[in-house]
Amino acid sequence: MYRNIYIELLKWKKSEVRKPLLLQGARQVGKTYIIKQFGRKEYSNLAYLNFEQTPELSQFFEGNLIPEKILENIGFYLGAKITKNTLVFLDEIQVAPKAITSLKYFQEQAPEYHVIAAGSLLGVGVGKESSFPVGKVNFLRMHPMSFSEYLIAVNEKFTLEKLLENDLDSKIPEPIHNKLTDHFKKYLFIGGMPEAVSSYIKNRDIITVRKIQNDILKAYQRDFSKYTTKAQSIKTSEIWHSLPQQLSKENKKFKYSDVRKKARAAHYELTIEWLKNAGLVNIAYNISTPKLPLSGYADETKFKLYLLDTGILGAMLNISSKIITTPNRLFVEYNGAFVENFVAMEMVAEGIEKLFYWTSGNKAEVDFIIQKDDTVYPVEVKSGMSRNKKSIQSYITKYAPDLAIRVSPRNFTKDNNFINIPLYAVFLLKSRGF
C-alpha cells in the first residue's frame, strides 16, 4: 500500500539537505501505519511518540527547545538511545504546539537526526502560529489510497503494470477491461481508507467495511468539536452534512443556500477553509477562460466541493452494497456523484494541487481543465455509456484544443483529437505528462 508515499519518504531520507518532515492528511488515511513501516524497515530503531494518546509527552518540549536534550529525554522514556540511525516519529503533533516549534531547532542545530511529524489536523494550524517553523521543514501530503494502489493491495500488480503500458488510445481486451471495471466498482464502494481496504481483503465482508466507514465519520465529527469552537463546530457539521446532497445534483456547484436558507459566503468561508486544510474536501474552482495560469482566471466564489473518499461519500448517502452487482448503476447513481468525485480524488492523489472546471454561462460545462506543459485540455467525465459530448464539443468549437479527453466506463478509444479513457485509468494522465 501507498507505494508513492513510500518512494517520497525514501527520497527524503537520502536527500543531502534534509529538514524535518511534516506529513499532513486527514484522519485514518494511514499516516501512522506508513511511517512506522518506513521506520522499521529503513532504520535501526524507531522512536515513536503519540501526543494525542499520551498528552504528557508534550512536557519534553517545555522550556528550552534544545534538540540534544529533547532526544536524551525521549531516549530515557523509551529505554533506548536515540542515534543518527533512529527515526524519530512525532505523531499527532498538532496537540503539542511547542513540539512543532522544536522542528526549527532540529533543522538548525541537529540536522543529522531524522525527524518526521504527522498530524490528522496539522493543516488546520499550520501557519497560524507565529512559532511555526516556516522554511525549516519539508511537507508531504497523504491521501486515501488511489485506485492504482488499491489494485496492488488486491494482488493485481501485473494487471496494473500492463495498464501502465497503454498509450491512452489502444483498446484493451474486453475481458481485462471488464475485470478492471469490476474492481473499480468495488473500489467506489470500499473507497481508499486503508482500514476499509484491508478489512475487505481479509474478510470479504462489505458490512464490516461500512461499519469502519461509519466509525471514521464519527471520528471526523468528534474532531469538529475537539479542534474548533462550539459555533464553528456547528457550521462545520452543516457544511459537511450538506456535501453528499450537493454532489447528488446535476449541477454540482456548491451553494450556501443548500446548507442553510439565506446563508451567505461570509458565514461559511472559514469553515470551508478548515475542511480543506483538514484534508476532508477537495475544491475545484470555476474558470470561464481556459488560459494559463489557470489560477489567474479562476473565480474562487464559484466552486465544487468533493469529499476525500468515495467510500465515505457512499457511507454518508447510505448506499447499499447490492448496487455493486448491478451493471453500471453505481456510475450513474446520484447524477454521477461517485465518478466525478473519484476523478477529483485521483487527480489530487497524483499531485494536482488545484482543480478547475469550465463553464460557459448556463449552456455548457466541462468537469475538469488540466494542464500539460504550456497547454490546457478539457476533461469531461461521463458516468454512463452515452457518447453525447455536447458540452465538450462546445469547448472544442470555442477553443480548438489539440486534444479533448473524455473519461467514462467505455474502453480506450481515439477519434482524431478526441480520446476516451476508462474511469479506472484516470491516473494514467499523470504518467503521460498531464
134-143 pLDDT, tens digit per residue, is 789 999 999 9
> pTM for the complete prediction?
0.92
What residue has cell string 448506499? 319
Mean pLDDT value across residues 245-266: 93
Confidence of residue 130 (pLDDT cuts 50, 70, 90): very low
Mark whether 399 and 325 lie in a shared domain.
yes
Q: Is residue 146 part of a domain?
A: no
Confidence of residue 126 (pLDDT cuts 50, 70, 90): very low
Mean pLDDT value across residues 294-310: 96
Mean pLDDT value across residues 328-335: 83
Mark whether 223 and 370 lie in a shared domain.
yes
Mark whether 186 and 127 lie in a shared domain.
no
Mark whether 218 and 95 lie in a shared domain.
no
The residues facing 49 across adjacent strands are 90
User: What does the pLDDT read at residue 297?
Assistant: 95
pLDDT at residue 159 greater than cutoff 60: yes
Mark whether 229 and 350 lie in a shared domain.
yes
User: What does the pLDDT read at residue 144?
Assistant: 96
Confidence of residue 387 (pLDDT cuts 50, 70, 90): low
Mark whether 185 and 275 lie in a shared domain.
yes
Mark whether 163 and 260 lie in a shared domain.
yes
Mark whether 177 and 104 lie in a shared domain.
no
Mean pLDDT value across residues 291-304: 95
Q: Tell which of 141, 162, 191 closes a domain.
A: 141
Q: Please, what sign has the CA dihedral across residues 200, 205, 209, 212?
A: negative
Q: Is residue 163 part of a domain?
A: yes
pLDDT at residue 127 greater than cutoff 50: no
Mean pLDDT value across residues 397-418: 94
Q: Is residue 149 part of a domain?
A: no
| Portion of the chain with pLDDT greater than 70, in percent | 96
Q: Is residue 188 part of a domain?
A: yes
Mean pLDDT value across residues 24-45: 96
User: What does the pLDDT read at residue 383?
Assistant: 87
Q: Tell which of 141, 169, 191 closes a domain.
A: 141
User: What does the pLDDT read at residue 328?
Assistant: 78
Mark whether 184 and 286 lie in a shared domain.
yes
User: What does the pLDDT read at residue 17?
Assistant: 84
Q: Is residue 106 part of a domain?
A: yes
CATH code where residue 8 lies: 3.40.50.300
User: What does the pLDDT read at residue 228?
Assistant: 79
Among 36-45, 96-105, 117-126, whose mean pLDDT is lowest?
A: 117-126
Mean pLDDT value across residues 298-312: 97
Domain count, the chain: 2
User: What does the pLDDT read at residue 125?
Assistant: 53
Q: Is residue 132 part of a domain?
A: yes
Q: Domain range for residue 353?
A: 154-431
User: What does the pLDDT read at residue 361?
Assistant: 83
Q: Is residue 36 part of a domain?
A: yes
Q: Tell which of 108, 141, 174 closes a domain.
A: 141
Q: Is residue 316 part of a domain?
A: yes
Mark whether 85 and 187 lie in a shared domain.
no
Mark whether 123 and 265 lie in a shared domain.
no
Mean pLDDT value across residues 392-401: 94
Mark whether 182 and 269 lie in a shared domain.
yes
